[in-house]
Amino acid sequence: MKRPDSEADDFFEGDDFFALVDKGAQNHYENAVLYDYEYRRRRADAKFYRELAGELADPKQAVLELACGSGRVTSALLRGGHTVIGCDLSLSMLRRAAARIAKMGKAHRERIQLVRADMRRFVVSGDVPLVIAAFNSFEHLYTRTDVEAALDCVRRSLAPGGLFAFDVQNPDLSWLTRSPKKRWAKTTFTHPETKQRTIYTTNHDYDPISQICLIRIYYRPTGPGPERVIHLSQRKFFPVELETLLWANKFRVIKRYGDFSGEPLSADSESQVVVCEPV
């Protein structure tokens, strides 16, 4: 991630903060096995995007999935009969996606193309009926410049009448302002690689000016071995702000939900699920 040439640069508090943001954009995705283990029960979003693709996309045309990660949503789209172009910047995630898809049938494997690409700088010919950015991947667009670049790429990829669907978290100020000196969400699990019993905890720092959250995830073995820390950085988007950013980039919100079952967005919603179209 390069330092943006815009007034958004003024929001960063120095090179150390910027370096942590950059580290958090990558670190969480380096261990694909652990990543898949942590999110193995997450299915509602994959079902939502598969059903949306079934309503909107001609199977003969490709669905473009940005930040496809380890292929969790990708494989659901393939099982739905769709052709998919999956893009991600992380080589470890793409390798994991390729391994996942290799276990599927030949008909599925023939309908997938995996590409290493940055969601701010990708090029797909403008005939895609649906672009997807699942599981908070839009939160890796840390500045207005990043958002504008990504939305421009989406616009140039979409066929006339095409849609862009994505989800981000609904910011929870009580969570964001928790003390960074404490640890939260303590859970004990068996690590999928080391097979050691491991204690999971997390904490974070939130900068209310840049709206970037620097999350630290701790893995401490109950037996011998060092504690490991994984970094994750996310840009938080508040509902009216998000709609305004889309409007400023000539996208109109046509559906907005508070979860993947279609419930209305409310103060208690954990997610913002958005379907929009260029205008």
In a domain, 37, yes or no: no
Write out the residue range of the structural domain in which residue 189 sits.
Answer: 13-27+172-235
In a domain, 193, yes or no: yes
The list of the chain residues with pLDDT below 70 reads 1-15
In a domain, 8, yes or no: no
In a domain, 5, yes or no: no
Which pLDDT score, from 0 to 100, does residue 14 have? 59
Which pLDDT score, from 0 to 100, does residue 3 have? 42
The CATH number assigned to the domain holding 86 equals: 3.40.50.150
What gap in Å lies between CA 245 and CA 227, rounded to an integer? 40
In a domain, 165, yes or no: yes
Same domain, 244 and 149: yes
In a domain, 33, yes or no: no
Same domain, 184 and 221: yes
In a domain, 3, yes or no: no
Which pLDDT score, from 0 to 100, does residue 10 have? 43
What's the total number of domains in the chain?
2
- State the pairing for strand pair 158-169/184-190: unpaired
Same domain, 254 and 129: yes
Q: pLDDT tens across 139-173, in order?
A: 999 999 999 999 999 999 999 999 999 999 999 99
Which pLDDT score, from 0 to 100, does residue 13 have? 54
Same domain, 84 and 193: no
In a domain, 256, yes or no: yes
Same domain, 90 and 138: yes
